Structure 1
Amino acid sequence: MEYRLAFEDYLPTMAARLGEHGLMQELEKGFHLLADPSSHTITLQSLKQNAPLLGIPQMSDCELRDIIHLGDASGRGELNLHQFCVTMIRTSPALMEQALAILCVVDTPSDDDKEDDDDGGDYREDEEDTSEGMEEVASI
């Protein structure tokens, strides 16, 4: 008999209600509930021990390792707070759709948008510089 978890993506609702700062505070609280108190990271053992306390059904070690592997940028088999938050946001289909929509609005100018002047400039002078906003999105 195969069981499947029903996935309900609550992060967009939380983000809308709590704002960016409030959402990050809630993610931090969730991290601390799952983390090993001595290493301050989420490990296989801490996830196995603490996930049921949050109502997450029992999962195999392989499934738990896969969850950790999703965000483990260091390759150490554990997640720090930053990696956990990034993973939570990246695995939210609705938040990723919103991020893609933002990225699609900020695209490079086409040949029609380029100015025909003698200095060989690639962009029109009246376009805004969006590099600052992109740095924030890229950090996620």
Structure 2
Amino acid sequence: GIKEKNYEEFYTLFENKQAEFGNFVFEELSMEFIRDLLSEDPIKQFGKYWDEKREIDLVAKTTSGKIIAGNCKYINSKIKKNELNRLMDDCKGAGLNVDIFVIFSKNGFSSELKSLKSDSLRLFTPKSFKLLLA
């Protein structure tokens, strides 16, 4: 189609892949952010977890042995409490004893989820990535 200057098919295919590209970059920035944020207890191991039943976008272990697990959601709606419940269930099913849960959201969080924020639950948006520029 491009050869005949018909770009419709290209744009359709690109739109389908564009979300995947954005999500990948968002996950990578989230990992770098966590590394910088926890510089007082550096990350020793970093990665993702998945099996047939579950997927966890971010799993890390600090030098002191703390386990951090989180998900990154590059979607156009606010993240609700059920996302935290799903993350906790996935971690339990994977046998992870998590010390700190982190959730990254492109468009923020519901009031109910924000009210649960604590030392063991941290919530971040793209505005948080300003730390990476410092």
TM-score (norm 2): 0.22
Q: Which has the higher helix share?
A: 1
Give the TM-score taking structure 1 as reference length: 0.21
Which of structures 1 and 2 has the bigger CA Rg? Answer: 1
